[in-house]
Amino acid sequence: MPFESGQVPQGEARKRVVMQYYPYLLMFVVFDVVGMFLFAWGMSFADIPAADSFFVLLFLFLLGAPLGYALKMALNRENW
Amino acid sequence: MVNLPTTPADILPFIIAVVTSHTFITIVIFPGLIHLIVVVMFLTWYERKLLARIQLRIGPLYAGGLGGILQPIADGMKLIFKEVMIPYKADKPLFLGIPLALVFLGALPFAVIPFGQHWVIANLDVGLVFVFAVASLFPSMILIFAWASNSKYPFLGGLRSLFQQVAYEIPMWISTLSVVMLAGSLNLVQIVNAQQKMWFIGPAFLSFVVFFIASMAELERLPFDLPSAEPELVAGWFTESSGAIFMVIFLALYMKLYLMSSLITVLFLGGWWGPAFLPQPVWFLLKALVVATLIIIPRGVYARLRVDLLIKVGWTRLLVIALANVFITVALLSTGVLSAWGL
Amino acid sequence: MDLSIPPDITFVVLTTITLLAAIMALQSKELIYGAISLAVSFIGIAGFFVSLDAPYLAMLQIAVYVGAVVVLILFTIMLVRRDEPDKDEMGESSEGAAGLWIAGLLAVSIAGIAALAGPSLPTTPATGNLPISQLGPVLAETYPVPLIILALLLSGALLGALVLAKVDR
Amino acid sequence: MSAALLGIGIYGLSVKRNAIRILFAVELIVNAANLNFVAFARYMNPSEVTGQVIVFYSIAAAAMEAAVGLALILVAFRLNSTIDVRKLNKLKG
């Protein structure tokens, strides 16, 4: 390097990365999909009968438990 | 539309007709490119000046008089004439290409943002989702750029940026769901029209709070600026960029700041609606400026969080609040509490 | 299906981009470039969706595939990066040839079937917009049960992937 | 077009040795199928969005498949420190 000062960089820059935040990425993929479905539903909320909206809310509710469990796993540093 | 010129004498009137046509003006001048660049340059000056005032400094002073308002132009000139250094063993095509792509992606969502009843370039039916789809390309771009620059600080910064943006994108989306349900449309023009009587910040206050916090995190602003934490990571994922590349990235970042503040204006603050003594775009710009100020101010005030806490807060608090907010909105809408405002 | 359409410019451009990117995704030396070309190919498909009057689907495609799946792929590539440079990835040449043969045969036969069935299909796409607001009601009213199954699938996949990726001590 | 994409996908599936490449190929095949769904729905039954709704589910399923597939690749890499499928034949004994 002709005109740099300071230390010469050492080692490989593109190291393997840590796993710690990997579960959050998985959750991102899942909730990306969920979000798109919810937008399709919310866009025409007024036109959808309440009985059918109930199913969408049930869908959301069902995802609550795995979300909680995934968060618990993700926050447990022993796992990663 | 205008007919193509046939004789040389027609060329000048043709050019005038094209330049004064509404399409040309919307694309190139007002909600389009020139306006965008001017506002972005203004924002860089505004941020420096505001922060300086908060910290009892003076900030830019000399360039152009009037409190150094031409400072952004001076900065731009300086950066253009500096040498572009490409790190040893960096991935050249990606290292040079990604910043340009970032600017393009930063400018693209402005095509669907309505600055007034007729001041919108493309009135898409899927406007809001379009903005989110484009915005969701940013994290991977940043990660690739960080990888391409073949250096440790950018790589760490890029990873942090990826996780942070990923963590706050979902709460952001889901918080806007209640706005979409209130307006009954994804079309941004219709969303603003639905707010003629009542701004959505009232009925959807919770989602406004979530959206505001999440957008600050998306913008990597303090107190969420871990990806470019200066004491630890030099400048985060754009450490290795220099000269013109740095300028281009900087431009993209400020475009994103402007995008987020105008999105908040559109979704929660009633867009262009305001008392009629000022034209619609002026109201819009004023509101966006106020929001930008609110986003900038914490930078002068707060310290930053730790990265794992940051991500934890995003997923455990904001996401849960956003999901709960969906149920609240359903309850509000189906009990008809909001019918007084015609919702 | 496509054979009956007069070759118009968007179609040709989108086809070229998508197919070239797809080939690049499989043949590029560096895995990162493969992931990027995969993203480009997905964006090409999203362009097709727009031209087929399904803009919401195009946005879904970009947000889910390019926004989420490609990020996941990039991250995994960085996780499994080996310290020594990649060796030649192609299998033996005979296997490559066999793969090409199978793939070519399949593609040609499907295109042939499409060409035979082509005349029986309407040749012009419908005019007029499909309102995207139709999507929600159809989703919620006609297909509520798949929605619930999807919720189970999503949670299953999330937990399954987490348990798989967990470090056993 | 869709057939060509499918062809590329099948080729990748059968020839490549890197597990991530194989995942790419699978995604390409799924995309070819999605494209066909939308196109045929548009040409044969233009007034309904059913074809698009099916693709909704298909995209969701494909995304989940990618997530689980990548997790499997991670496990395979951790156990064997390679993602070359020709070398992952431990079950042969």
List, for residues B31-79, the tens digit of each pLDDT value: 777 878 888 888 888 888 888 888 777 777 776 667 677 777 777 777 7
Residue B96: closest CA among B195, B230, B241: B241
Phi, psi of D18, rounded to the nearest 5 degrees? -85, 130
Say how many CB pairs under 8 Å bridge A and D: 18
Residues B173-181, mean pLDDT to the nearest whole number: 85
Q: How far apart are CA D68 and CA D60, in angstroms?
A: 13
Query: What residue type is assigned to position D18 of the chain?
Result: N
Q: How far apart are CA D85 and CA B234, in angstroms?
A: 41
> For C53, which DSSP code?
T
Radius of gyration of chain A (CA): 22
Statement: the pTM of the whole predicted model exceeds 0.90:
no
Q: Is residue B11 part of a domain?
A: no
Q: How far is D93 from chain C (nearest CA, A)?
A: 22
Domain assignment present for residue C145? The answer is: yes
Q: Is the pLDDT of residue B20 over 50?
A: yes
C40 class by beta-carbon count within 10 Å (0-12 exposed, 13-18 middle, 19+ buried): middle
From C15, C72, C138, residue closest to D53, measured CB to CB: C138
Residues listed for chain C: 169
**Crossing angle for the helix pair B319-335 and B152-183, nearest 10 degrees?**
10
Distance (Å) of CA A24 to CA B314, C93, C124: 10, 41, 45
Crossing angle of helices C70-79 and C31-51, in 10° steps, is 170
List b or e across A53-71, with b for residues whose CB sees 16 or more CB atoms inside 10 angstroms. bebbeebbebbeebbeebb
What residues in B contact C56, CB-CB < 8 Å? 126, 129
Contact at CB, D43 and C48, closer than 8 angstroms: no
Residue type, B328: I
**Closest Cα in chain D to C123:** D43
What single-letter amino acid sits at B8?
Answer: P
Amino acid at position B337, single letter: V
Whether D1 shows a pLDDT value over 70: the answer reads no
Reply yes or no on domain D2-92 having CATH 1.10.287.3510: yes
For the stretch B96-127, pLDDT in tens is: 788 888 888 888 888 888 887 777 777 777 88
- Give yes or no for residue D71 having a pLDDT over 80: yes
DSSP string, chain D: -HHHHHHHHHHHHHH--BHHHHHHHHHHHHHHHHHHHHHHHHHH-TT--HHHHHHHHHHHHHHHHHHHHHHHHHHHHHHHS--BTTT--GGG-
Q: Could you tell me which chain C residue has the CA closest to the CA of D56?
A: C57
Least confident interval from B76-80, B133-137, B215-219, C2-6 = C2-6
> Domain tally for chain C?
2
Tens of each residue's pLDDT in chain C, 169 residues: 344 444 467 777 777 888 888 777 777 777 788 888 888 888 888 888 887 777 888 888 888 888 888 888 888 887 776 544 444 444 455 566 666 666 677 666 666 666 666 555 554 555 455 566 667 677 766 777 777 888 888 888 888 887 777 776 5
Determine the Cα–Cα distance for residues B163 and B139; give it in Å rounded to an integer: 8
Q: Chain-wide mean pLDDT for chain B? A: 78
Of all residues in chain B, the one with the smallest CA distance to C60 is: B133
Residue A17 included in any domain? no
Preceding peptide of C144 cis, ω within 30°: no
Q: Domain for residue C89, yes or no?
A: no
Q: What's the complex ipTM?
A: 0.80
Report the alpha-carbon distance of residue D65 to residue D31 in Å, rounded.
Answer: 13
- Establish if A15 belongs to a structural domain: no
Contact criterion met (CB below 8 Å) for B188 and B114 = yes
Least CB–CB distance from D72: residue in C34, C60, C164? C164
Residues of C in contact with B129 (CB under 8 A): 56, 59-60, 63
- Does a structural domain hold residue C159? yes
How many Å apart are CA C154 and CA C151, to the nearest integer? Answer: 5
User: Does residue D55 have a pLDDT over 60?
Assistant: yes
For chain B, the domain total comes to 1
Using an 8 Å CB-CB cutoff, list chain A residues near B211. none
Q: Are residues C76 and C143 in the same domain?
A: no
pLDDT for B82 equals 75
Residue B274: which domain range? Answer: 89-341
What is the rounded distance in angstroms from the CA atom of residue D27 to the CA atom of residue B232? 39
Confidence label for A14 from pLDDT (cuts 50, 70 and 90): low
Judge whether C56 is closer than 8 Å to chain B, CB to CB: yes
The answer to whether position C127 is within a domain reads no
Q: Which of A30, A45, A59 sits opposite C147 (nearest CB)?
A: A59
**DSSP label at residue B124:** -
Is C25 among the domain residues? yes
* Mean pLDDT computed over A11-38: 76
Distance between CA atoms of residues B27 and B120, nearest Å: 9
Look at residue C113 in the predicted model and tell me its pLDDT: 66
pLDDT at residue C3, as a whole number: 40
- Tell how many helices (H) and how many strands (E) occur in chain C: 7, 0
Domain span at C20: 1-81
| C71·A25 Cβ contact <8 A | yes
- Please give the pLDDT value at position A8: 57
Kindly tell me the burial class for residue D89, based on how many C-beta atoms sit within 10 Å of its own C-beta (0-12, 13-18, 19 or more).
exposed
Q: Report which of residues B219 and D18 the model is more confident about.
A: B219
Q: How far apart are CA C113 and CA A9, in angstroms?
A: 60
Asked whether residue A72 is domain-assigned, the answer is yes
Helix (H) or strand (E) holding C77: helix C70-79
Residue A62 lies in a domain: yes
CB D31 within 8 A of CB D5: yes
In-domain check, residue C125: no
Highest mean predicted confidence (pLDDT) among B162-166, B271-275, B308-312, D10-14:
B162-166
Q: Are residues C143 and C70 in the same domain?
A: no
Domain ranges of chain D: 2-92
On whether residue A16 sits in a domain, the answer given is no
Q: Kindly state whether residue A28 falls inside one of the protein's structural domains.
A: yes
Name the residue facing A41 among C63, C136, C158 (closest C-beta).
C136
For C90, the 3-state DSSP assignment is coil
For residue D84, what are the β-bridge partners? D18
Q: Does the CB of D39 have a partner CB in chain A at under 8 Å?
A: no
**pLDDT, position C85:** 46
Query: Does the beta-carbon distance from C164 to D68 stay under 8 Å?
Result: yes
Cα–Cα distance measured from residue C81 to residue C97, given in angstroms and rounded to the nearest whole number: 28
Counted domains in chain A? 1
Beta strands in chain C (DSSP E): none
* B278 or B340, greater pLDDT: B278
Domain that holds residue A51: 22-79
